[in-house]
């Protein structure tokens, strides 16, 4: 039997199971006792928990925009064609990954960064690289079944990777990319090599937390670990940090603590959240700047883009990672999302596009301050669409098992609100791909004048002459946030339009970012063709963008959302009940 036939047969068995379990879920227990007798009642009680646990979806899903249309998950007449189309798309994504990896391996193997046009690699330290690119891409290779590429990468990690580099490294980036990549590889393969290297790296990062407040310093010298045990000396960095970097290390250090059986990793990460929670304003919205020494926020912008984004992402994911055993994170997440809806959610005056505005503090002449609402949204903010939808079906659900997509009666009022905003925000993010290239700009500005242009958004300073430098806002840096939200949206709805959106984005990347000699480049202006490009291929193309594209076109049983959480670099970790007793509730 071919792989295709095997997968198809398995899907048909799944559908039959769903039919049976949905019938079970329709009726209350007393009807089984009365109508079918004790044996049926026992069967009901045995099967119902399993059905609820896996979140058995209905056989038909409805459009998230409240359309009255319904569609079968697998229409009988076109099942084979449906699977064939998605398999072809998935194969194309694998081909793109191989195209990028082959060039990197040829030109820059071992380097932290890669510049495909010049065929060169660079490191974050003059003392050599610490595997940023390789480790970040490792789990994607494994998922795609690229055995030979994976084995060569593993060999490099075993033989060449060294963390004894005398240079300053970002605590945050090293944690989410390198530590996160090693932890994910261990989760997927159980290879002890990755566990050992993850523990070593974690121990080298730990001194970053030796500040008066316990908040981690922004940069650290991994080589001089023995000189930093005393705290703020040696390789420590600046005193001001940002909330995303400070409070987006927890998924990694908690999972590391679990596999290393080392409570120190857990307590260091957990203490950060206790300090942040104490400093938060009542509305749960965190200014992006925080005093590392004192543990208090500094007057600064509130935004869900750069320097703020993953803090909010990790509130929900910390609650989910430990199997909902730490309700404090649900409380912090729910409070923050209420604040987002009260202060940040905006709509354009003409077409009603939903976007997330930043807030900027302004001093008043007579003392005090006020907050100015902006009208710009970074591409980074598009993560929130999927996060809201995931939150609606977990934190905002009345029980752990919801339909696909969730029915209104299965969600709390907050869950229904968050689901609606998530769907609308994702549509806005897709609208920003309506450019000459089909790629979304780094930052869009939304119109606020009802009498203004018919177009609700534009790229600021996009009138720049062709010979000049394009504005930063106009570039596309191979970012994954919209694709990430499309992946989550598809997993939670089964709606094929999200796959089609993802395919359109991938096609645009192939057309405008791909370098024929190998690799992919940043596009400097998404609304100008032919494109001008910048010689940079970010590691998140390999770890996030291609991974989410691969997963959205594949079987949803691979890394199901009820079994894993993805860190902010798209490295999957398991959901587990912690063996370490949480100390922050």
Which element (helix H / strand E) includes 71?
strand 70-72
* Count of beta carbons in the 10 Å neighbourhood of residue 225: 19
Catalytic-residue membership of 481: yes
Inter-residue contact 316 to 386 (CB < 8 Å): no
For the packed helices 327-339 and 383-392, what is the interaxial angle rounded to 10 degrees? 120
| Residues listed for the chain | 585
Q: What is the phi-psi region of residue 119: left when phi exceeds 0, alpha when psi lies from -120 to 50, beta otherwise? A: left
Catalytic-residue membership of 117: no
Q: Which residues are annotated as part of the binding site?
A: 568
Inter-residue contact 265 to 257 (CB < 8 Å): yes
d(CA 271, CA 274) in angstroms, rounded, equals 5
Catalytic-residue membership of 149: no
d(CA 354, CA 346) in angstroms, rounded, equals 6
Listed as own residue / partner, the contacts of 16-25 with beta carbons closer than 8 Å and 24 or more positions apart are: 18/56, 18/57, 18/59, 19/59, 20/47, 21/47, 21/50, 21/51, 21/56, 22/51, 22/56, 22/58, 22/59, 24/48, 24/51, 25/51, 25/52, 25/56
Candidate list 270, 442, 473, 538, residue with the active-site label? 442
Candidate list 123, 334, 378, 481, residue with the active-site label? 481
Largest CA distance in the chain: 81
Rg (CA), the chain: 24
Catalytic-residue membership of 270: no
- CB burial readout 103-128, b (16+ within 10 A) else e: bbbebbbbbbbbbbeebebebbbeeb
**Residue whose C-alpha is closest to residue 219's, from 264, 155, 174, 254:** 174
Candidate list 107, 173, 245, 418, residue with the active-site label? 173
Candidate list 112, 245, 258, 309, residue with the active-site label? 309
Q: Which residues are annotated as part of the binding site for Ca(2+)?
A: 568
Q: Count CA within 13 A, CB hemisphere, residue 389.
A: 26
Alpha helix ranges (H) inside 238-308: 243-246, 250-260, 263-279
Q: Which residue do the tokens 């587990």 mark? A: 576
Q: Which residues are catalytic?
A: 173, 309, 442, 481
């Amino acid at each position: 039997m071919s792989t295709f036939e095997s997968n198809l047969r398995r899907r048909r068995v799944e559908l039959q199971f769903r039919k049976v379990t949905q019938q079970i879920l329709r009726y209350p227990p007393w009807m089984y006792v009365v109508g079918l007798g004790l044996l049926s009642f026992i069967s009901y009680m045995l099967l119902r928990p399993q059905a609820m646990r896996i979140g058995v979806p209905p056989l038909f899903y409805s459009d998230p925009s409240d359309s009255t249309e319904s569609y079968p998950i697998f229409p009988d007449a076109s099942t084979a064609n449906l699977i064939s189309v998605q398999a072809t798309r998935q194969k194309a994504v694998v081909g793109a990954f191989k195209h990028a990896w082959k060039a990197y391996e040829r030109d820059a193997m071992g380097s932290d960064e890669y510049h495909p046009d010049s065929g060169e690699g660079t490191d974050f330290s003059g003392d050599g690289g610490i595997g940023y690119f390789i480790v970040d891409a490792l789990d994607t290779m494994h998922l795609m079944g690229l055995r030979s590429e994976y084995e060569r990468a593993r060999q490099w990690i075993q033989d060449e990777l060294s963390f004894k580099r005398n240079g300053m490294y970002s605590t945050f980036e090293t944690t989410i990319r390198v530590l996160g990549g090693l932890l994910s590889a261990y989760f997927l393969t159980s290879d002890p090599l990755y566990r050992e290297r993850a523990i070593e790296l974690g121990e080298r990062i730990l001194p970053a937390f030796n500040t008066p407040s316990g908040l981690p310093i922004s940069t650290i010298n991994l080589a001089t670990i023995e000189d930093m045990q005393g705290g703020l000396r040696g390789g420590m960095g600046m005193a001001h940090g940002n909330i995303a970097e400070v409070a987006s290390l927890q998924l990694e250090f908690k999972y590391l603590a679990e596999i290393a059986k080392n409570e120190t990793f857990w307590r260091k990460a957990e203490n950060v959240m206790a300090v942040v929670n104490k400093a938060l304003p009542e509305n749960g919205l965190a200014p992006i700047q925080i005093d590392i020494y004192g543990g208090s926020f500094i007057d600064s912008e509130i935004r869900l883009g750069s320097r703020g984004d993953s803090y909010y992402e990790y509130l929900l994911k910390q609650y989910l990672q430990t199997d909902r055993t730490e309700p404090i994170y649900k409380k912090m997440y729910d409070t923050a999302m209420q604040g987002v809806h009260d202060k940040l959610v905006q709509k354009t005056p003409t077409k009603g596009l939903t976007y997330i505005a930043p807030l900027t503090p302004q001093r008043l002449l007579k003392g005090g301050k006020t907050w100015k609402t902006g009208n710009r949204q970074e591409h980074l903010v598009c993560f929130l669409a999927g996060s809201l939808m995931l939150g609606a079906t977990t934190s905002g659900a009345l029980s752990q098992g919801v339909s696909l997509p969730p029915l209104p009666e299965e969600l709390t009022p907050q869950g229904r609100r968050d689901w609606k905003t998530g769907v609308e925000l994702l549509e806005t993010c897709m609208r920003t791909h309506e450019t000459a290239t089909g790629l979304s700009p780094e930052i869009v500005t939304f119109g606020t004048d009802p009498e203004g242009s018919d177009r609700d958004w534009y790229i600021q300073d996009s009138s720049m002459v062709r010979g000049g430098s394009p504005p930063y806002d106009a570039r596309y840096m191979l970012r994954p946030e919209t694709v990430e939200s499309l992946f989550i949206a598809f997993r939670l709805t089964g709606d094929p339009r999200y796959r089609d959106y993802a395919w359109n984005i991938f096609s645009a990347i192939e057309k405008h970012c791909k370098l024929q000699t190998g690799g992919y480049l940043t596009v400097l202006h998404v609304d100008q063709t032919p494109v001008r490009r910048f010689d940079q291929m970010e590691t998140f193309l390999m770890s996030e963008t291609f991974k989410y594209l691969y997963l959205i076109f594949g079987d949803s049983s691979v890394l199901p959302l009820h079994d894993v959480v993805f860190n902010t670099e798209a490295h999957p970790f398991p959901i587990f009940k912690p063996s370490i007793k949480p100390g922050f509730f």
